Amino acid sequence: MFTISKLIGCKPKPYQNPVKVKICAIGIPETYTTAAGQKKMSTVLGLADKENTIKAVLYDQDKLEHLRLMDTVMIMNYVLKSDPEPIIVLTKVTKIMKTSNIDVPADIARKAHLISNPPPASMVTLKDAKTSPAKTMISVKGRVTSVS
């Protein structure tokens, strides 16, 4: 059985090896549009084990009604992606089974909670937003006078 730390060190690909994790956070389902123009939904989960955390994206919303916060589950037939960060992708072929409880330290559970419920972005001026690092979440304060 994989741990999150061991999984993060693996190549991005589909896996059948089970990983046992605790669901520390369940985000709000979000709507997205596929390349074919279909509207679908996904939900971000914050998962943790005794040592580490990982983000999971659930694309099969039928599974969401069976998941409860702080449940310990065994996940099989998932896809690991690693760009830009390690993410477990949960699809309709993914098996999610409830299992015996694992103890997750409070600091790791808090870190997992922040994965699907991030704090609000820092407020910056328009002048500073232009020089902010790439892929950094910010909120802009100011007035737009022109766009180039």
> Per-residue pLDDT tens for 134-148?
777 777 777 777 787
Q: What does the pLDDT look like over 60-75, one tens digit per residue? A: 999 998 999 999 999 9
In the three-class reduction of DSSP (H, G, I as helix; E, B as strand; rest coil), residue 58 is classed as: strand
Mean pLDDT of 31-51: 93
Q: In the prediction, which pLDDT does 70 show?
A: 94
This prediction has a pTM of 0.80
Mean pLDDT of 14-33: 93
Report the percent of the chain where pLDDT is more than 70: 100
Residues 6 or more apart whose Cβ sits within 8 Å of residue 20: 1, 49, 72, 73, 74, 75, 99, 102
Q: Does the pLDDT value for residue 119 go beyond 90?
A: no
Task: Give the pLDDT confidence score for residue 113 in this predicted structure.
Answer: 92
pLDDT at 122 over 80: no
Average pLDDT in the 124-136 region? Answer: 77
Beta bridge partners of 95: 76
